[in-house]
Amino acid sequence: MKKGSKFFIAGIIVVGVIGFLIMSGFQQNSVYYLEVNELLKQPEAYKAKGVRISGNVKEGTIQQDVLKKFLKFVMIDDTGATMNVEYTGLVPDAFTEDVQVIVEGKYDKSNNTFYAKTLLAKCPSKYEADATEEEKQKS
């Protein structure tokens, strides 16, 4: 076998292995992004997969144990669909009632509870209003 053909075959193997690692990494980290009503319509379709759910925190439903870093609340979307959410971890500073949140984790249909491993809270629009007022004062 010629020296050049050995390098060519080795190169193809290396590219194949790198391609396989990239594809398997994407499949492991890929999650579906839904709203509450979409998840509730077809919970079986996302049972074995991680999902991200977008919605708002329903007013008056937050139960929090700061020492245990445990949070429980009801998430509601624009259609009025609701589900319970349980999260253990650090709670974002922007997390309050009626704020838009995104949770990532797994849904249990039997008790209508979403067990979140990630919780993201959208900053309230009042910060955007404050920024525009400051810009007006500077000019």
User: 82-136 pLDDT, tens per residue?
Assistant: 999 999 999 988 898 888 999 999 998 889 999 999 999 987 655 555 445 555 5
Which pLDDT band, with edges at 50, 70 and 90, does 63 fall under? Answer: very high
Measured at the alpha carbon of residue 46, what is the angle toward residues 23 and 117, in degrees to the nearest 5?
80
Give pLDDT, residue 87. 96
Which pLDDT band, with edges at 50, 70 and 90, does 25 fall under? Answer: low
Q: Return the CATH architecture of domain 31-129.
A: Beta Barrel (2.40)
Average pLDDT over the chain reads: 82
Measured between alpha carbons, how far is 128 from 120 in angstroms, rounded to an integer? 18
Of 92, 46, 45, the C-alpha closest to 73 is: 92
Provide the residue count of the chain. Answer: 139
Residue 42 or 71, more confident:
71
Read off the DSSP letter of residue 110.
G
